[in-house]
Chain A
């Protein structure tokens, strides 16, 4: 950058003893309530002209005490708080949490339950990626793409709504099972939705991938090398965009992912464009997973056969005394699901990367059997915190306008960032 020099006219106008008028750096504060910051986050930047030379990211504006709340609610009650972590793909959070508790209990769902979970996870993943890509395209001026993608997300959410009755905060899962079996005709609708999504992806691909404005603002902007990405603890589409093929679904398979045929896309350069392309391809892969699940889903029960964990059928609760007592035992304060002492870490692949739950069960002073009906500690390993922590490396030494696409490609979700 050339040195800024005071013009001779200005110099002449200055009083002789005034120090030379030189202004090189400027501080600019972006956020916390800024339209391009999805959610609330604050970036303080030091600019030289339009170049960002230094930046500092501040988070915590949406801290809602997720971990404390989970400690004070029973195992099943805590699921509502997991909904609100990554609110664009709530089913993944629910299911990840339930899988972790189930690991602690040593139980596993029957195949139909596992297939339903896989289906819901993939639906949620597509909706997450659609929102991310759509929003960042909108910020670059592609409003049409945003409208198309939200239309696609609407179809997916209607599907989820048909299953569980809610659109965003879904509560799709319980410890030891699923709350409902699939409604009639749901699978057919699923196939139709996948077809629609493919069409939308196609359209958006045409609109964006060869669009010169879009590509030039994305390519070679916000570059992150693979080593640095690993050092910063990145996972998910952002890490894969940097060329590391790490996907929890492939490397630590859970549910039925190892029985299905799908691939992990990776990028090469680690720039915004690669992250965008990885997300687009992942949606296609998720469509494939959904199609295979629809074709392969077996019949049978959706809950595991363990009366100490799973609520009895309503028919039994109202119909006979054993069912009623079973229901009461699981619902009553101080009884509930008794989870033995222990600790587990269970990672699943969330929309933004590895979503891990570290759950500790530890008897409190009232416990007589060494078990507890609520968690001692629920720690959520937030997938997007590492990306935001490393954000300054991606925006320093780029133009100020590049913050917008770079930040969009990180897909920060306030709920899981600040918990």
Chain B
């Protein structure tokens, strides 16, 4: 198994950016430093033509540390190359740079992650809840949020 070209190029530009990589189940994956996600994505978009952000999500690995993992899926529509990029976040510092400047769709995906996981996106211009309502407290997809903890706007509590 040899390094992917994307990996080599990113390393050349930012030697400390890539922490790990693997190719399990045929999904090419890079694990990068969360603070450098913007530079990584810039390289991917400009030099490798990853012009579509297919998916952006987060996984909560409580009680592991670091707790959160951001997961980005990129696609090059022309050459049909796919790449997954992951970045790990500590609970105490659950914030990462927004990708809105590269991909407009990141706007809604990031709002969703903020809503359900409570990850802050720096540079996002309109970071508010998208699936739930403003009165809702907490972030339901975190593992420590009980599934049936309701916060109704009206009607009985349960």
Contact = CB atoms under 8 A, between A and B. Distances in A.
A104 B25 contact: yes
Interface of B: 24-25, 27, 51-55, 57, 59-61, 71, 73, 77, 80, 82, 84, 103-105, 107-109, 116, 129-133, 140-141, 147
Chain A at the B interface: mostly helix, strand, loop or mixed? mixed
Nearest to A226: B77
Interface in A179-228: none
Contacts of B116: 67
A68 B57 contact: no
A63 B129 CA distance: 12
Contact of A345 (B53, B84, B105): B84
Contacts of A68: 140-141, 147
B52 A230 contact: yes
Interface string A349-370: 0000010101010100000000
Contacts of A59: 130-131
A376 B61 CA distance: 8
Contacts of A342: 24-25
Interface residues of A, number: 39
B34 to A, nearest CB: 18
B54 A356 contact: yes
24 contacts: A60-B132, A65-B147, A67-B116, A103-B25, A230-B51, A231-B105, A232-B105, A233-B105, A246-B77, A251-B80, A252-B80, A343-B24, A343-B25, A343-B27, A345-B27, A347-B54, A354-B54, A358-B55, A377-B60, A379-B55, A381-B55, A386-B108, A389-B107, A390-B104
Contact of B54 (A67, A103, A233, A344): A233
A200 B130 CA distance: 39
A69 B147 contact: yes
Interface centre among A63, A233, A344, A419 (most CB of B within 10 A): A233
Contacts of A389: 104-105, 107-108
Given A251-B80, A389-B108, 5 more contacts: A63-B131, A68-B140, A69-B147, A362-B61, A379-B71
Interface of A: 59-60, 63, 65, 67-69, 72, 103-104, 230-233, 235, 244, 246, 251-252, 342-345, 347, 354, 356, 358, 360, 362, 376-377, 379, 381, 385-386, 389-390, 418-419
Contacts of B130: 59-60
Contacts, number: 87
A327 B61 CA distance: 31
B54 A381 contact: yes
Contacts of A358: 55, 57, 71, 73
A418 B131 contact: yes
Interface centre among B55, B105, B116, B147 (most CB of A within 10 A): B55
Given A65-B140, A231-B51, A345-B73, A376 B59 contact: yes
Interface centre among A72, A235, A252, A358 (most CB of B within 10 A): A358
Contacts of A385: 108-109
Contact of B103 (A231, A344, A377): A231
Contact of B104 (A232, A252, A345): A232
8 tightest A-B CB contacts, nearest first: A233-B105, A63-B131, A60-B131, A389-B108, A381-B55, A379-B57, A377-B59, A251-B80
Contacts of A354: 54
A401 B103 CA distance: 29
Contacts of A67: 116, 141
Contacts of B27: 343-345
A63 B108 CA distance: 15
A132 to B, nearest CB: 21
